[in-house]
Amino acid sequence: MKYNTSITCSIIFCLAISIVFNSCEKKYDAPPSILELAFAPDLSIKDLRAKHTMGKFEQITESKLIAGVVVANDQSDNFYKSIVVQDTSGGITIRMDGIKLDANFPVGRKVAIKLKDLWLGDYGKMIQLGVGVDNSDPTSPTLTGIPQTLFDQFIIKGELVNSLTPIVVPISSLNNNYQSMLVQLDQVEFAPSDTAKTYGDAINKQSLNRTIRACNGNTILLRTSGYANFANAKTPIGNGSIVGIYSVFGTTKQLSIRDSFDVNLRQPRCK
């Protein structure tokens, strides 16, 4: 069989040129996705909180983003119409006018929050983020929650994180820097008068305070809503660790647990 030499050479030449061009072709990185951009925040939660003056309300006019992980929600009904979001610098409570928030914002979900047009405020010096200010009672204006119809406008949902590690801190060291953060208190127990008592008043749907004390005598209040699904459970009598969200009301230090499983008091009480 005879081959056409010119055709063969042409094919070889084209292949060679193709190889050269492909080997020299510059490889461009794919542009970042919307999620990647969202989870590259340009403001830390600590810096966001620093923009607030206690007793005032501030509207955010800059197109800034914060990002963090959901550390508490309304799953047990101990956190009313709110989620708590934390990054490595701090935490903040976000007021949300909706129910069953845990379905879309489970504990451990990464979220990014578009801040433009949201408002900062505080309730009893507890800093919060909302969508506006309710002045229906001029003597006591309050921050309003983000309507459910606007959740997707302000909040971008990300992946789930497998584990959340609370910050171990003694009661004496708790201050406003720990607001809305998941903390763990070790070597603590309920005061004798508050052991074997219900966490909340489930009958009258009233919140109750129970005193937690460390072996060195320092104390903090554990506050539980009467609507919490564990409100009728009894406080244990032992010593151990308690995990919860740190908050304040005025000058009073408070802790709120997400569920009774956050309380692990199985060791002997302080001597």
Residues 144 and 40 in one domain: yes
At 163 the pLDDT is: 78
Residues 226 and 133 in one domain: no
Domains identified in the chain, total number: 2
Torsion angle of the four alpha carbons 36, 40, 46, 52, in this order, in degrees rounded to the nearest 10: -90
Q: Is residue 199 part of a domain?
A: yes
Residues 147 and 230 in one domain: no
Residues 115 and 210 in one domain: no
Q: Is residue 211 part of a domain?
A: yes
Written as tens digits, the pLDDT of the chain (271 aa) is 444 545 444 544 444 445 444 444 444 444 445 566 567 789 999 999 999 999 999 999 999 999 999 999 999 999 999 999 999 999 999 999 999 999 999 999 999 999 999 999 999 999 999 999 999 998 999 999 999 999 999 999 999 987 789 999 999 999 999 999 999 999 999 999 999 999 999 999 999 999 999 999 999 999 999 999 999 999 999 999 999 999 999 999 999 999 999 999 999 999 8
Measured in whole angstroms, how far is the alpha carbon of residue 19 from the centre of its chain?
53
Q: 187 is in which domain, residue-wise?
A: 167-266
Instruction: Residue 176: give its domain's CATH number.
Output: 2.40.50
Residues 78 and 183 in one domain: no
pTM of the model: 0.85
At 31 the pLDDT is: 47
Residues 156 and 61 in one domain: yes
Last residue of a domain, one of 136, 160, 184: 160
Residues 6+ apart with CB under 8 A from 1: none
Residues 58 and 156 in one domain: yes
At 35 the pLDDT is: 60
Last residue of a domain, one of 138, 160, 182: 160
- Dihedral class, residue 5 (left if φ above 0, else alpha if ψ from -120 to 50, else beta): alpha
Residues 70 and 186 in one domain: no
Last residue of a domain, one of 116, 143, 160: 160
Q: Is residue 27 part of a domain?
A: no
